Structure 1
Amino acid sequence: MLNHRQTKIQFESLATLQAIQKQAYQMLIQSQVNQTDRRIVRLTLTTNGQETVQRSVRQVQANLKNFNQSHDLEKLTKQVETLSQQLAKIN
């Protein structure tokens, strides 16, 4: 069970992550509220967001081209198994 200090540290970390997430969204996503129905908000990518998506797509495509299926898939499977075991220990 977590003590008070550990709980406080976790909440501070969560707040920091939320602030980072908010800044990232502001850089990547812009919102526009519908003037006739304020419950409707239109989200679009900013120019920076579009460039980020394009870079990500190019990186994924490059990774897929360089993917050595047998070796990398075996390595990935082992890593997933290790992570699963570690998560089981935590829970």
Structure 2
Amino acid sequence: MYTVKYSLTSSSSIETQRGYIWQEGFISIFITMSASIIAHYSLTILLKPSSKIGIRGSLIGTITGAIMYGSVAGTSINIGAAIAVGLAA
């Protein structure tokens, strides 16, 4: 029997699947934080071309993105959702 991710007929144990899902959650949080930084810098350049890019805004966006997506990162398997939350943060 072959192993299928998130399948009811999987031959691997639940601990093996849980270890993979949690690692995917960490990657999703990282992608969310990266998307929030990219959105902050690009919107700052587009909306106020003469202003300087500050670190304070990117830190607040990063922390906000991690908090917004951190609660569902272990259960969400859609990487597009992580990017969308990061862009909104």
The reply to whether TM is greater than 0.5 is no
The structure in which a higher percent of residues are strand is 1
- TM, length-normalised to structure 1: 0.32
Larger Rg: 1
The structure in which a higher percent of residues are helix is 1
- TM, length-normalised to structure 2: 0.33
